[in-house]
């Protein structure tokens, strides 16, 4: 989830007293739980709590974007891809792809994405009364500056295979369901989502520079294969003006920066 590119209000829960000595000197102090994380681990000692956002089908979809490699780590994507904004984790099946699945495509509209890559897609939902638009600023308004946010996340292994999942099944096509803007669907069959409290993500944040924005996360633990041509079709033109993979925030591992997962 990318960094919000405008001024934001402090955490509503930051008034909760947190002793400085409860945190290591080399990590952020006084912040709420951070993201991304290893969703296979339930450990976390961050004391700041906030109410989970409603289910995504009771909120407005405001943004869809994706990251180079998976920001999170899970049992289905646990291959470390390195440090830095192009690091993160790869799907476990990456090394077993066939020659056909890895066949390059010409003129890819999703810049920097090729067969064999892992991406993590984020469907961001807000409690504000807004319509989908470019960037995370679309999730906020002047009248709704501190909304509840929920991010549905799925890691994909990009392949050259028309028999794989098609991204067009998960895009926004102008649909409103029960009065809420919604994607056509959110991927299923990749394990029960792990739900936890966290923050926005993106390469501008680290364990030393934390995000102040609260978000409820639903991260599916297994990868799914996605056809690159269907992804390229979406990148040719969409309401979010997305045409490339964003960088990742390195995994947050300090217990003081993680919420416990029930």
Let me know how long the chain is: 262
**Parallel, antiparallel, or unpaired for β 60-68 and 118-126?**
antiparallel
Q: Note whether residue 2 is domain-resident.
A: no
Whether 142 is covered by a domain: the verdict is yes
Q: Which domain holds residue 146?
A: 55-195+217-249
Name the residue with tokens 């006084």: 30
Residue 187 lies in a domain: yes
Would 110 be classed as within a structural domain? yes
Domain count, the chain: 1
Distance, CA of 18 to CA of 11 (rounded, Å): 13
DSSP string, 39-77: TT----------PPPPPGGGSEEEEEEEEEBBSSBBTTB
Tell me whether residue 238 is in a domain.
Answer: yes
Q: Taking the model in full, what pTM does it have?
A: 0.90
Sheet strands (E) in the chain: 60-68, 79-80, 89-90, 118-126, 149-159, 176-177, 180-181, 194-199, 214-219, 224-227
pLDDT in tens for each of the 262 residues of the chain?
654 544 343 444 333 334 434 445 689 999 999 999 999 999 999 999 999 999 999 999 999 999 999 999 999 999 999 998 999 999 999 999 999 999 999 878 999 899 999 999 999 999 999 999 999 999 999 999 999 999 999 999 999 999 999 999 999 999 899 999 999 999 999 999 999 999 999 999 999 999 999 999 999 999 999 999 999 999 999 999 999 999 999 999 999 999 999 8
Listed residue (232, 225, 231) closest to 107, CA to CA: 232
């Amino acid at each position: 989830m990318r960094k919000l590119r405008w001024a934001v209000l402090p955490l509503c829960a930051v008034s909760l007293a947190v002793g400085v000595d409860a945190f290591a000197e080399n990590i952020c102090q006084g912040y709420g739980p951070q993201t991304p994380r290893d969703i296979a681990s339930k450990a976390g000692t961050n004391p700041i709590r906030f109410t989970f956002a409603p289910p995504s089908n009771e909120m407005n979809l405001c943004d869809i974007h994706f990251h180079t490699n998976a920001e999170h780590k899970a049992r289905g994507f646990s291959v470390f891809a390195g440090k830095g904004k192009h690091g993160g984790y790869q799907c476990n099946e990456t090394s077993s792809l066939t020659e056909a699945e890895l066949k390059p495509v010409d003129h890819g509209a999703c810049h920097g994405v090729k067969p064999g890559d892992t991406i993590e897609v984020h469907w961001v939902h807000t409690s504000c009364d807004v319509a989908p638009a470019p960037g995370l600023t679309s999730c906020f308004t002047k009248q709704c500056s501190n909304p509840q946010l929920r991010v549905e996340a799925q890691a994909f292994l990009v392949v050259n295979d028309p028999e794989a999942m098609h991204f067009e099944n998960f895009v926004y096509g102008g649909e409103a369901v029960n009065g809420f803007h919604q994607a056509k669907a959110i991927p299923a069959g990749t394990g029960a989502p792990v739900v936890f409290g966290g923050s926005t993500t993106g390469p501008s944040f680290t364990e030393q520079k934390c995000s102040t924005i609260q978000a409820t996360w639903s991260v599916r633990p297994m990868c799914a294969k996605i056809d690159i041509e269907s992804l390229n079709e979406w990148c040719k033109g969409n309401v979010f003006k997305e045409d490339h993979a964003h960088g990742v925030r390195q995994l947050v591992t300090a217990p003081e920066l993680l919420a416990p997962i029930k």
